[in-house]
Structure 1
Amino acid sequence: MTNTLSRIGLDQEQSQVLSNKLNTLLANYQLFYMNARGFHWNIKGNKFFELHLKFEELYNDSLIKIDEIAERILTLGFTPLHTYEDYTQISAIRQAKNISDGVEAVKEILKGYEVLLPLERELLELAGESGDEGTNALMSDYIREQEKLVWMYSAYLG
């Protein structure tokens, strides 16, 4: 039985499944990050200062999460995706190009969370089933933070 366990004591087949799903999350985060960065750069209008800062917070937070997800994949013993081609092929989040309107940008952010949160919930469930507390804790933290952000961005839209 021990020959199917990884160095961190998790079943290797289950870890492969988790790593594949984490790579899907990673790809989606990369597109989410790029979109938030573009919104930060291109935002215009009377809410410029407010949204410019919010989008900067979002892309900085996304960059941290991207690194955490990639490192979790490595910890599980697998390789994180690392090409933009891979990201665009498997991401459900699409590129949002040339958006400068604040309302439209916030709607795109909320669309991103509509992809990220279900993926994170799926990972939370898979991690729980396989006894992977590391992935479980990461997803639990992400979900808690993002549920609040969804509420806040939704409130912004009225």
Structure 2
Amino acid sequence: MKVNSLGLPVKEVDELANELNTLLSNFQIYYQNLRGLHWNIRGKRFFDLHVKFEELYNDSQLKIDLIAERVLTLGGTPLHTFSDYIENSKLKVGKNISKDTEAVLLVSDSLVELLKIERVILEKSGNINDEGTNSMMSDFIVEQEKTIWMLKAWMEEEM
């Protein structure tokens, strides 16, 4: 088995870099959705949600950078065009959303989709002992699960 400079199997690392690029694309759509929600939210919950969406998009911007840098660390090239993001994203694009419940639901649904991708990456990185990717995915998952719980609580829904 051929390994790279990190001691990880080349074929599996290439596949993992592709999965990370899928995650990167989805995070870019998530980020842009959050910007739109931040700008367009209206109503009695404006002040709370405006701040929350800003918090979430700032966090996602940091994660986007971490994902792209992990792709580079693994020897891949991070996707970096809007057409690549749209082509590789599974997330719904939120356009002109100004109602609080619709906005929070979009964020929650998006996080659920991100978790699905992250769990695939977590499994694949675990299979090849890629602790760097594994650790990053574990951190993302824990944080996003908590955010989903909080958003569901805000919507007064059960998980």
When the two structures are superposed, what TM-score results if normalisation uses the length of structure 2? 0.96
CA distance in 2: counterparts of 1:116 and 1:95, whole angstroms = 14
1:152 matched residue in structure 2: 150
Structure 1 residues 116-144: Cα deviation after superposition (integer angstroms, max 9, x where no partner) = 00111111110000110000000000000
SS in 1 for 2:30: helix
Alignment equivalent of 2:101, drawn from 90, 103, 106: 103
Counterpart residue type for residue 140 of structure 2: Y
Counterpart residue type for residue 19 of structure 1: A
1:112 matched residue in structure 2: 110
Kindly report structure 1 stretches of 4+ aligned residues shifted beyond 6 Å: none
Task: Determine what percentage of the aligned residue pairs are the same residue.
Answer: 53
Alignment equivalent of 2:128, drawn from 127, 130, 133: 130
CA drift at 1:113: 1.1
CA distance in 1: counterparts of 2:129 and 2:121, whole angstroms = 12
CA distance in 1: counterparts of 2:3 and 2:123, whole angstroms = 20
CA distance in 1: counterparts of 2:97 and 2:68, whole angstroms = 28
CA RMSD of aligned residues (A): 0.7
Gaps of 5+ in 2: none
Counterpart residue type for residue 47 of structure 1: R
Q: Is 1:143 equivalent to 2:144 in the alignment?
A: no
1:6 matched residue in structure 2: 4
Gaps of 5+ in 1: none
CA distance in 1: counterparts of 2:11 and 2:21, whole angstroms = 15
Counterpart residue type for residue 40 of structure 2: N
CA drift at 1:94: 2.3
Q: Give the aligned length.
A: 156
1:89 matched residue in structure 2: 87
